[in-house]
Amino acid sequence: MTITINRIPLVPVLKIGFMIYFLMAFIGLLLYSTIILSVIGTIGSLIGGLNLPMAMPGGGSMIFIGLFGAIFIAIIYTILTMIVVLIYNAASSFAGGIEVDVESSEMDSLRERVNSLHSDMIELQNQNTGLITPEEDNETVSESQ
């Protein structure tokens, strides 16, 4: 079965994209700031005379910087995603969408089997109840006269 993607809805893509970009950027910036703090602390202890950890921002301010940095990065990437979706929607209106071949799932084959069994049951029920067709009814009436 072939499905054609003619249009991508903009608002759901932006919502999900912003959340994913924000989480990735926040986690990345927290890891990056942790590594930077440990590297600077190690360098300061190796040099010996420098008291670099006192001059560096603390953990709370690093989380604050990470939070606002993540929001900024998420906004930038969400804008880029919006531009890509708008370009795709415009291009697909002229050239057609992307065609995707989808295999039939077990649910589809089960649905076909249920429909087949349902039609078989209706046939058997008609046979057992003695329902007659209009043609058979006309023949019976003409024979009795």
- Quote the strand ranges of 6-55, DSSP E: none
- Give, in order, the Cα–Cα distances in Å from 11 to each of 18, 86, 142: 11, 11, 70
Banded model confidence at residue 141, pLDDT cuts 50, 70, 90: very low
- Give, in order, the Cα–Cα distances in Å from 137 to each of 43, 72, 124, 128, 142: 102, 80, 20, 17, 9
What does the pLDDT look like over 66-106, one tens digit per residue? 788 899 999 999 999 999 999 999 999 888 888 888 776 77
Residue 63 has pLDDT above 80, yes or no: no
Q: Which residues contact 10 (CB under 8 A, 6 or more apart)?
A: 82, 85, 86, 89
Euclidean distance between CA atoms 27 and 35, whole angstroms: 12
- Res 51: pLDDT: 55
Q: Which residues contact 103 (CB under 8 A, 6 or more apart)?
A: 1
Q: Percent of the chain having pLDDT more than 90?
A: 26
Q: Can you give the residue ranges of every domain in the chain? A: 2-103, 108-145
> How wide is the angle at C-alpha 131 spanned by C-alphas 127 and 135, nearest 5°?
115
From 12-16, 45-49, 99-103, 133-137, the region with the lowest mean pLDDT: 133-137
Q: Are 21 and 74 in contact (CB under 8 A)?
A: yes
pTM: 0.58
What does the pLDDT look like over 7-37, one tens digit per residue? 899 999 999 999 999 999 989 888 887 787 7
